[in-house]
Amino acid sequence: MKNSIFGFFKIGGINDGERFAAKYLKKIGYKILSQNYKAKMGEIDIIAMDGDILVFAEVKQRKSDDFGAPREFVTKEKQRKIKNTAQLYIMKNKYSGNVRFDVVEVLGKDITHIKNAF
């Protein structure tokens, strides 16, 4: 049986939450620069520009909150890895502006965007 989010993303498929989150961010005016940016120390789900702010977004998707909200799975260790990976991205791209770390939570058919999450 296939479940879907707004009829076009299968829940449980690989990267479905990330694709949905990227589509949402584009819809609200973000410019997506990279998805699934990988470095030795970690991975960043979405890197985007929100106006003149460089945003590093972690996407967490769950079918239900039976075991807690998806955002609760962005642990301190995960945050540390994202920040270290972001520093590498910033250095490689010689970026010197403002940055922000967001969490995009996909819970069933609902999306919650938490700006300045950590």
Assess contact for 25 and 31: CB atoms under 8 A.
no
Flag whether pLDDT at 10 surpasses 50: no
**What pLDDT sits at residue 103?**
97
The pLDDT of residue 72 is 80
Task: Count helices and strands (H / E) in the chain.
Answer: 2, 7
pTM (two decimals) = 0.83
Average pLDDT over residues 29-54: 96
Is the Cβ–Cβ distance between 44 and 96 less than 8 Å?
no
Pairing verdict, β 98-107 and 53-62: parallel
Q: How far apart are CA 58 and CA 117, in angstroms?
A: 10
Question: CB 58: neighbour CB atoms within 10 A?
Answer: 26
Pick the CATH number of 4-114 from 3.40.1350.10, 3.30.2270.10, 3.40.50.1860, 3.40.1280.10: 3.40.1350.10
